[in-house]
Structure 1
Amino acid sequence: MSRKLIWLVLLLSMFVISGCTERAKDLEQVSANKRIVIRFSHVVAESTPKGLAAKRFAYLVHQRTGGRVEVQVYPNSTLYKDGEEFKALTENNVQMIAPATAKLTDIFPQWQIFDLPFLFENYAEVHNAMDGEVGQKLFDVLEEKNVKGLAMWDNGFKQMSANQPLHTVEDFRGLSFRIMPSKMLARQFQRLGANVKELPFSEVYRALQWGEVNGAENPLSNFYTKKFHQVQSDVTISNHGYLGYAVMTNKTFWNSLPEDIRKIIKDTLEEVTMWERKEAQRQNQQFLTRLENTKDITIHHLTQQEKLQWKAALYPLRQEFTPEIGEELLESIIRE
């Protein structure tokens, strides 16, 4: 046999073997009996607490199910933007999302409770609400849209940023701020004398850079990882509001999973949730330290007097939104 013929046979053999391998992979991927694919979409960077927790969850589930479940994580709005992911979940185009609670408020007004300014003083109060009666009641209302709540993750307490100091309520007058779609957040800034513009999170940097808005509110992990400090000169450490995430799945999809798989997912989520909450606090403290050592940005901590002024301006929102949130739900948090 000539050398040319030998090489031809070898090349054809490699092609056939490669083709068979690829087809085998494809068959394994589409076989419901062998592999369950969960597409997990979110809108923030992979390095944020939520981004890291999603990756950790995917790794652990894959490991604990022996590869039977593959969680595919899509960060940074690569699949869906803020206003698109909930609809995608209800249509089962993705199987898991973890939106900020504010993004649920148009459909479920009860979830506005997490947007009330100065409602929580610390993380312990937040977690008591999330993990207790309040959280369960909020999860129950999701089922109206064929959605099942699985866990509550932290981002952290929100801080204000702009290109000028924000110390007193008067400093907000005439400025414009980016917000998530939320009637509560719109009213918050209106009571401070500011204007608002609803924007997907993926568009915030550009809007700040080009002056479409003057400022925003974010936990420091979002502020730093999205490099907002490059387009904002001042940050006020106000802790005026809390930003958390509701980890949820399509209820029909969830009910279709084998019981043993549901248990592994649930147990893993409980473990990852505890890890994520610690990571959120660690990152927010780490990025505060970094920002304090950055020459191009000024950090201001609200004085007690300034905080009382902000609270006085925003406190009427509780009475205004109680009919939508529900008096019983709000009283549950205040009691806790």
Structure 2
Amino acid sequence: MRRLSLLVSVLFSVLVILSACGQSSSTTGQQSNKGTNNEYEPVTIRLAYNLPQDHHISVGIENFAKTVTEKSGGNVKIQVYPAGQLLSDKEMNQAILTGGVEMGVNSSTLWASTVPAMGIFDVPYAFPNYELAGKALSGELREKLNKAMEEKGVKVLMYADYGYAQFANNVRQLKSPEDFKGLKIRSIGDIPSEMIKAYGASPVFLGAGEVYTALQRKTIDGATSGTTAMLQRHYDEVAKYLTINNYSYLEFILAVNKSFWDRLPEKTKNLLSETAQQTEQWIREQAKAEDERTAKELEEKGMEVYVVPESDLPKWKEAAKPARDVYIERAGDLGKELLNIVETIN
């Protein structure tokens, strides 16, 4: 009887141990699976932009959002609101600064009202070619601009090359700065407006969606923008002349509310940063090709195109000096530093 009791006791102990081992193994397996399935902490990020969806920057941004979502296994979801569906370009920056939206794309021109040094891209003829722009944005200039933006509460995730700004108008071909005299030109920002005034014309502020009608009704004589936007917004139907002078290298910035960014896990930050870097390079490669393609297509659609000879550009740059002086006045020492960096690369 004692042996039987002892045997039962031993068997019971073995069963308890095996059960415990099984539970431990099961728990370990569950933790392992949990770690695998939730490699990225779940988060939803709203991303807004205003450009047409078929613009090369928009295509890049959409692919950025898709790639992040896929690589995170769907845990880092980026909800994209394109073409001004959520915010206008005038509302965008304030929304990012206050956390009304986590992420957004807007022009460096509009960010210059928050960080005056960001107007560097609008300084006439500061970036004479695509290669120099790319080089400048891979070094000290980028670091200084990013720091200035972070001090205002914004993390810059990407610089998206829009391409060069040009001039379209209905009055005459603009072959020299003197040809601007007396014209009313839709501007895209403060520094370009100073250049337009220096050339003898009057800058007019209009939203991008208002330009077509204004040209059609002749309430303005012309407008400045990139040829990509001119083609997408059908300038060829309401403007006769196109002048290619590459006066401003337009940048769009993918910005993140810094408080939101600081709360993200390091792994998520790395995913966003790496994907943004790859997307930025792809967009930069498209900018030159898109500028060339759209200018040619506008010409094919009937616009008379005049390309300012490189030998004439010093005259255009000299006449635009008041705009450069205004930039330095507003951006202060940092603005001077940035211009020196660009000129050194030149």
TM-score where L is the length of structure 1: 0.85
Partner-residue secondary structure (3-state), 1:218? strand
Q: Which residue pairs with 1:137 in the alignment?
A: 144
Residues 80/281 of structure 1: CA separation in 2 closer, same or farther (3 Å cut)? same
Match of 1:297 among 275, 280, 303: 303
Q: Distance in 2 between matches of 1:287 and 1:37?
A: 36
Matched, 1:251 2:264: no
Q: Which has the larger radius of gyration?
A: 2
Q: Cα distance, 1:306 vs. partner?
A: 4.1
SS state at 2:246 partner? coil
1:120 pairs with one of 118, 124, 127? 127
AA aligned to 2:169 is: A
Match of 2:30 in 1: none
Letter in 2 for 1:272: T
Alignment partner of 1:260 out of 260, 264, 267: 267
Distance 2:311 2:189 in 1: 31
Counterparts of 1:123-202 in structure 2, within 5 Å, are 123-164=130-171, 165-182=173-190, 184-202=191-209
Paired position in structure 2 for 1:275: 282
CA offsets per residue over residues 294-323 of structure 1, 9 Å max, x none?
2x3111111345433322211343344324
**Match status 1:315 vs 2:321:** yes
* 322-331 or 142-151, larger mean C-alpha shift: 322-331
Tell me the distance in 1 between the aligned counterparts of 2:312 and 2:342.
25
Structure 2: which amino acid aligns with 1:138? Answer: L
Q: 1:83 aligns with which of 90, 93, 100?
A: 90
2:294 aligned residue: 287
Contact 1:237 1:302 in 2 (8 A): yes
Rounded Cα–Cα distance in structure 2 between residues aligned with 1:88 and 1:204: 25
User: Which residues of structure 1 form unaligned runs of 5+?
Assistant: 1-32
Alpha-carbon distance in structure 2 between the residues aligned to 1:35 and 1:176: 51
Shift of 1:292: 2.5
Determine if contact 2:64/2:279 at 8 Å carries over to the other structure.
yes
Q: State how far apart, in whole Å, the 2-side matches of 1:267 and 1:312 are.
A: 40
Q: Distance in 1 between matches of 2:129 and 2:106?
A: 21
Q: Secondary structure of the equivalent of 1:238?
A: strand
Pair 1:220–1:246, CA change in 2 (3 A) = same
Matches within 5 A, 1:92-107: 92-107=99-114
Instruction: Tell me the residue number matched to 2:338.
Output: 329
Corresponding position of 1:215: 222
* Alpha-carbon offset, residue 34 of structure 1: 6.8
Question: What per-residue deviation string (whole Å, max 9, x for no partner) do you get for residues 23-57 of structure 1?
Answer: xxxxxxxxxx9742211111110111111111111
Which residue identity lines up with residue 307 of structure 1 in the other structure?
Answer: L
Tell me which of 33, 43, 49 is aligned to 1:36.
43
Cα pair distance change 1:203/1:37, threshold 3 Å: farther
Distance 1:250 1:313, change over 3 A: same
Q: Which moved more, 1:325-334 or 1:259-268?
A: 325-334
Cα RMSD (Å): 1.7
**Residues 206 and 293 from structure 1, CA distance in 2 versus in 1: closer, same or farther, beyond 3 angstroms?**
same
Which residue does the alignment assign to 2:4? none
Alignment-mate amino acid for residue 186 of structure 2: R
SS at match of 2:168: strand
Runs of 5+ in structure 2 lacking a partner?
1-39
* Counterpart Cα distance in 1 of 2:311 and 2:140: 34
Structure 1 stretches of 4+ moved >3 Å = none
Contact 1:43–1:202 (CA under 8 A) maintained in structure 2 = no
> Which residue in 1 is equivalent to 2:76?
69
Amino acid at match of 2:195: Q
User: Do 1:76 and 1:202's aligned partners in 2 also have CA atoms closer than 8 Å?
Assistant: no
Deviations 1:248-290 (A, max 9, x none): 1001111122221111111101111111111222221211221
Question: Using the alignment, how far apart are the partners of 2:42 and 2:234 within structure 1?
Answer: 38
**Amino acid aligned to 1:110:** A
Contact 2:41 2:265 in 1 (8 A): no
Q: Secondary structure at the match of 2:90?
A: coil
Q: How far off its partner does 1:142 sit?
A: 1.2
Q: Secondary structure at the match of 2:159?
A: strand
Secondary structure of 1:84's partner?
Answer: helix
Which stretch has the larger CA shift, 128-137 or 316-325?
Answer: 316-325
